[in-house]
């Protein structure tokens, strides 16, 4: 998947006015049509920038030249560039133009050229006017950089093999599942749980904030999250140490990420017997006040987690303006 791309956009050129005469030698030439504008539109059904990149140069339609019988040439069709949510739009020099964060949000980026005047419009200037016409305005062009910031309500993070993907798949099974995203260095996956968007991010390793492993390329995709779901496998021998190590990564990566409301999930509970789990929970209660112990192989665990996620996400206001 492509989450950053550079493109060149161009509006439509205005059509030229024409010189024409009727049977009585009166000025009859029509004006040129207006060139198409260029718009950018937010579309929640698009998930990356690959199709835009494949198109290369994006151009609106030119206006057509004027016609006889005083008729104006046909206006050029506008160009709408549909982008996923949330897409930041930058000028070639790096200055931000707009952030497209809502479905249907439509912003004009370039104006199409005005059509030129035909000799009928210029006839009041005497005989010279009858022999005159003007050309349509030239097209406008601009180089842009688009940057996708995936929008998700809850992000699932943790060390590798913490069971994040299995949980997200279980929560979204029989829901509106979205295909996996493929990045060069990151493979996030989005899924929908009763209208709430969940994002599974690949496991971090110690030192990720220094660029180790996947680094922090994923950070832009957590900007609009409401909840951080911190997954820890019960296969680890020292759960407190693992938790603190990951929290250290979070704060080093981003204060915003670290400050997100957190739900701790201890995964792979099926590695313990019922009696062993009860004993383990008593130990966890000493170090953790707010957590869930679960296995993706137990339907009741998935249902309980789903209820808890929906309750928490519904209580947190949307951060996107």
Residue 249 counted as domain residue: yes
Q: Are residues 179 and 142 in the same domain?
A: no
Please tell me the distance from the alpha carbon of residue 2 to that of residue 4, in angstroms, as a whole number.
6
Is residue 184 over pLDDT 60?
A: no
Q: What is the pLDDT of residues 123-163, one digit of tens each?
A: 876 667 788 999 999 999 999 999 998 888 999 988 888 88
Look at residues 96, 113, 148 and tell me which one is the last residue of a structural domain: 148
Residue 271's H or E segment, with its range, is none
Residue 179's H or E segment, with its range, is none
* Least trusted range by pLDDT, from 166-170, 178-182, 241-245, 257-261: 178-182
Check residues 300 and 251 and name the one with the higher pLDDT. 300
Q: Are residues 297 and 161 in the same domain?
A: yes
User: What is the reported pLDDT for 164?
Assistant: 86
- Six token digits for residue 279: 């004993």
- Dmax (CA) for the chain in angstroms is 104
Residue 222 counted as domain residue: yes
Q: Are residues 115 and 247 in the same domain?
A: no
Angle at 46 between CA 189 and CA 316, to 5 degrees: 60
Residue 206 counted as domain residue: yes
Q: What is the pLDDT of residues 22-43, one digit of tens each?
A: 998 899 999 999 999 999 999 9
Please tell me the distance from the alpha carbon of residue 213 to that of residue 77, in angstroms, as a whole number.
47
Q: Are residues 160 and 119 in the same domain?
A: no
Q: Mean pLDDT score of the chain, rounded to an integer?
A: 86
- Six token digits for residue 172: 């979204």
Residue 320 counted as domain residue: no
Number of domains present in the structure of the chain: 2
Whether 61 and 100 have beta carbons less than 8 Å apart is answered as no
Q: Are residues 143 and 164 in the same domain?
A: no
Q: Are residues 182 and 301 in the same domain?
A: yes
Look at residues 148, 168, 197 and tell me which one is the last residue of a structural domain: 148
Residue 124 counted as domain residue: yes
Check residues 77 and 249 and name the one with the higher pLDDT. 77
Whether 204 and 213 have beta carbons less than 8 Å apart is answered as yes
Is residue 210 over pLDDT 60?
A: no
* Least trusted range by pLDDT, from 31-40, 214-223, 309-318: 214-223
Check residues 174 and 317 and name the one with the higher pLDDT. 317
Q: Are residues 122 and 167 in the same domain?
A: no
Whether 268 and 280 have beta carbons less than 8 Å apart is answered as no
Percentage above 70 pLDDT, the chain = 86
Q: What is the pLDDT of residues 46-100, one digit of tens each?
A: 878 988 988 878 999 999 999 999 999 999 999 999 999 899 999 989 999 999 9
Q: What is the DSSP string of 76-140?
A: PPPEEEEE-SSEEEEETTS-EEEEE-STT-EEEEEPPPPPPPPTTTTGGG-HHHHT---PPPPPP
Q: Are residues 134 and 238 in the same domain?
A: no
User: What is the reported pLDDT for 202?
Assistant: 67
Residue 64 counted as domain residue: yes
Q: What SS3 state is found at 293?
A: strand
CATH code assigned at 236: 3.40.50.300
Residue 199 counted as domain residue: yes
Q: Are residues 190 and 65 in the same domain?
A: no
Residue 321 counted as domain residue: no
Look at residues 113, 148, 183 and tell me which one is the last residue of a structural domain: 148
Burial group, residue 231, by CB count within 10 angstroms (0-12, 13-18, 19+) = buried
Q: What SS3 state is found at 321?
A: coil
User: What is the reported pLDDT for 125?
Assistant: 67
User: What is the reported pLDDT for 45?
Assistant: 86
Check residues 178 and 123 and name the one with the higher pLDDT. 123
Q: Are residues 113 and 224 in the same domain?
A: no
* Least trusted range by pLDDT, from 11-20, 120-129, 153-162, 199-208: 199-208
Please tell me the distance from the alpha carbon of residue 217 to that of residue 209, in angstroms, as a whole number.
10
Please tell me the distance from the alpha carbon of residue 293 to that of residue 309, in angstroms, as a whole number.
14
Check residues 318 and 107 and name the one with the higher pLDDT. 107
Is residue 284 over pLDDT 80?
A: yes
Q: Are residues 221 and 304 in the same domain?
A: yes
Q: How far apart are the first and last CA of the chain?
A: 26
User: What is the reported pLDDT for 121?
Assistant: 93
User: What is the reported pLDDT for 217?
Assistant: 60
Whether 133 and 19 have beta carbons less than 8 Å apart is answered as yes
Percentage above 90 pLDDT, the chain = 57
Is residue 104 over pLDDT 60?
A: yes
Is residue 212 over pLDDT 60?
A: no
CATH code assigned at 106: 2.70.210.12
State pTM to two decimals: 0.71
Domain that holds residue 240: 154-315
| Mean pLDDT, range 182-198, rounded to an integer | 67
User: What is the reported pLDDT for 251?
Assistant: 85
Q: Are residues 225 and 98 in the same domain?
A: no
């Amino acid at each position: 998947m492509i989450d950053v791309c550079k493109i060149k956009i161009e509006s439509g050129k205005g059509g030229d006015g024409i010189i024409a005469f009727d049977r009585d030698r009166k000025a009859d030439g029509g004006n040129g049509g207006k060139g198409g504008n260029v718009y950018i539109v937010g579309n929640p059904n698009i998930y990356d920038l690959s199709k835009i990149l494949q198109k290369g140069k994006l151009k609106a339609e030119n206006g057509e030249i004027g016609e006889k019988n005083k008729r104006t040439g046909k206006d050029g069709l506008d160009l709408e560039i549909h982008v996923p949510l949330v897409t930041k739009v930058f000028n070639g020099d790096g200055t931000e133009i707009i952030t497209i964060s809502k479905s249907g949000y439509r912003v004009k980026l370039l104006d199409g050229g005005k059509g030129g005047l035909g000799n009928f419009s210029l006839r009041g200037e005497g005989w010279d006017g009858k022999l005159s016409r003007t050309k349509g305005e030239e097209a406008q062009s601009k180089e842009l950089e688009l940057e996708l910031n995936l929008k998700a309500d809850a992000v699932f993070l943790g060390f590798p093999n913490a069971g994040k993907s299995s949980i997200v798949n279980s929560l979204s099974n029989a829901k509106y599942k979205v295909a996996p995203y493929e990045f060069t260095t990151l493979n996030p996956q989005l899924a929908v749980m009763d209208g709430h968007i969940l994002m599974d991010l690949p496991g971090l390793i110690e030192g990720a904030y220094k660029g180790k492993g996947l680094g922090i390329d994923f950070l832009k995709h957590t900007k609009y999250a409401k909840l951080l779901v911190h997954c820890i496998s019960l296969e680890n021998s020292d759960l407190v140490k693992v938790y603190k190590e990951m929290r250290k990564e979070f704060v080093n990566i981003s204060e915003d990420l670290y400050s997100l409301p957190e739900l701790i999930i201890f995964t792979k509970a099926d590695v313990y017997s019922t009696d062993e789990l009860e004993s383990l929970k008593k130990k966890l209660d000493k170090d953790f006040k707010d957590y869930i112990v679960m296995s993706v192989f137990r339907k009741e665990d998935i249902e309980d987690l789903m209820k808890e996620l929906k309750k928490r996400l519904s209580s947190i206001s949307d951060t996107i303006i």
